Structure 1
């Protein structure tokens, strides 16, 4: 404690900002606000009855209330290894999986294992805010590469590498990107994997939305093409956020290093919630039906929001094509600033995340991320109308100023 009463903090906290999305949760808790902001699953689709039944079953074994291994319960790691193996088209051993307290902890531990201050990390522009927080806390040098409708521009990445950049990590949300919603094409996935092999960096494939596809399944994961890829995922978007079950899949040496650091972070996760997740994920027919329900409902909601935006704004708003996940990315015509729009939108009972929350170095002042997963179709249509009224109100105020 300093003489003026302030607290001395470590250097890594300098310049860190709270997540704009986390800060918006207080706003979205207001009952009068229709929130398109946080990436929350639809509450009515959370399998609470099945979770309760699984909890009752697993608690018959006292081990479900006991400490677990730091790397996670063996039954859950076996289930996750089998599911990862199905996605990748090759065998995955449970020792190549570490269970974490959500996938965000997996990313944080991975950064601690691999990054020294000043190391270079390449991210997509716009970027997932949680990744930016982790890499800034690790005191990394963060460089962006652009996204387009086919995901990360791997040709731009290759130009950086050819010019001498040597990243330790390249982070990608390759499937239903947060915030853009785009999908990295199969050709670019192979290209990214080949670049990792050629230049020796690791790819962090952050994949919380990969099972939430509408219509056509996405291409095989980037990890299908290289063993230099570390995959992160989570049960938060498909089962329930409160389970706090995430995981990391990588080579055994990396998993051992992550486990060592995790011992100092939390010693172990919750045996109870891991046992519940293992039981639900192991019930293949039930889980497949549950995913079908999520895909059908979220797909319909994505269409409802896109239709409502088109009706309200016409060509004054361009929204991204949605193939899965939970988000659409919109760009407003003209000089409208979505950071200035947000408080006006809140006055009109609707919330979103301004594009600047995801900026690395680019200008995203006219963009916004909208989540279509949480609200029903009628509420999404009303949210679009409220957003239209907010835009007109801001334009009126600006004209009068």
Structure 2
């Protein structure tokens, strides 16, 4: 049967990460691919207690306000206000189904086809898909060890670029793992004021700082910032509770568009999130446990990478969040390495999945959050085994290229695993 699809869909890149998850879901594969919090770190008993409490109230089983449960918005307003250093009220918050819905609602509210949107390179794939679906004209700004290169953005603006939105994962970047430094945060907010664009500060990882307080949000430096938050990385993804704050006219427009999208989110999930976030002693203790666990996992992964690969790779040093960024210096292309890795029982995401304008074919993203330290060390051992196999195959192919008397050498299917 032929189904006519919207022309907007033609420009939306499929997510290589979602495709890869189907392979890494196999029991014999350790996944460093998806950005999933470790299952054993999810507070299942505390959520079960909050769920039982919430289910007793009939109002939590009914439709709710489009902008979200007031109790939750009050809790979020207090928390966001504390981070921004200014008072917020419940009317300053819209609750969404995860921060991804918030990003989609902002894009559909703000962007007409052809409007300029600045994204980071490497880019968060979910943002790329949202802006492609909105028909935006994308311009990419590189991300380095200090986050988005805001000076490069300033040069583009001086040359005449006029974006409607600038999107940044400002803290513990996905996929680069970097954090936008304080100088750049202030400069970005200042540029938004000067040139009249909105900054979309996507901040699902900001509370996962390993040492010291979370980074001060970009929104603390100016008013032209839309902040997106989520409980997915700090409590549990299945709650599907996110939120956004920003200029009042935008929030009003988002509410109207959200009515078209889902009428309202799950009142039950929001009641659970409200109870958990309002229990400050419990939540602070949970965050402390989560930060310590992620710090240990990040250290285990990066140490294992240094021991296994030496100077054949450079590896970012995570200071929070869930990801580290590898760049091979020996000519290895992670997209070509991946089939060997899957056969050896480990998965990751090649860097070209996050590319916008520049090639990232020597890079890879590894997630350390999903597995405990011993499993991460095993994963790196498997990856190093696959890397050595791949290098040997490359040598064989090069040797064959110099000889007329050899067989063709090709890798076997990634769907056929072998135990390392």
Distance in 2 of aligned mates of 1:35 and 1:178: 17
1:106 aligns with 2:98: no
Specify the SS of the correspondent of 2:285: helix
Match of 2:18 among 7, 11, 22: 22
**Cα deviation 1:239-262 (Å, max 9, x = unaligned):** 100000011111221111001011
Distance in 2 of aligned mates of 1:48 and 1:64: 20
Match of 2:369 among 348, 370, 373: 373
CA contact (8 A) 2:150 2:188 kept: yes
State the structure with more CA Rg: 2
1:400 aligns with 2:396: yes
What stretches of structure 1 move > 3 A for 4+ residues in a row?
A: none
What is the Cα-based RMSD across aligned positions, in Å?
Answer: 0.8
Match of 1:87 among 75, 79, 83: 83
Match of 1:301 among 297, 304, 327: 297
CA contact (8 A) 1:75 1:278 kept: yes
Alignment of 1:334-353 (within 5 A): 334-353=330-349
Compute the displacement of 1:15 (Å): 2.9
Match of 1:138 among 130, 134, 151: 134
Gapped regions of structure 1 (runs ≥ 5): none
Distance in 2 of aligned mates of 1:96 and 1:314: 49
Alignment of 1:218-367 (within 5 A): 218-367=214-363
Gapped regions of structure 2 (runs ≥ 5): 398-420
Larger displacement relative to structure 2 (389-398 or 106-115): 389-398
1:34 aligns with 2:30: yes
Alignment of 1:137-176 (within 5 A): 137-176=133-172
TM-score by structure 1 length?
A: 0.98
Compute the displacement of 1:18 (Å): 1.8
Q: Which residue of 2 aligns with 1:128?
A: 124
Alignment of 1:38-53 (within 5 A): 38-53=34-49
Compute the displacement of 1:6 (Å): 2.6
Distance in 1 of aligned mates of 2:71 and 2:137: 38
Compute the displacement of 1:161 (Å): 0.2
Distance in 2 of aligned mates of 1:312 and 1:7: 50
Q: Which residue of 2 aligns with 1:10?
A: 6
Q: Which residue of 1 aligns with 2:405?
A: none
Task: Work out the number of aligned pairs and report it.
Answer: 397
Compute the displacement of 1:348 (Å): 0.4
1:215 aligns with 2:223: no
CA contact (8 A) 1:183 1:218 kept: no
TM-score by structure 2 length?
A: 0.93
Compute the displacement of 1:89 (Å): 0.6
Distance in 1 of aligned mates of 2:109 and 2:5: 22
**Cα deviation 1:81-127 (Å, max 9, x = unaligned):** 00000110100121111100100000001000000000000011101
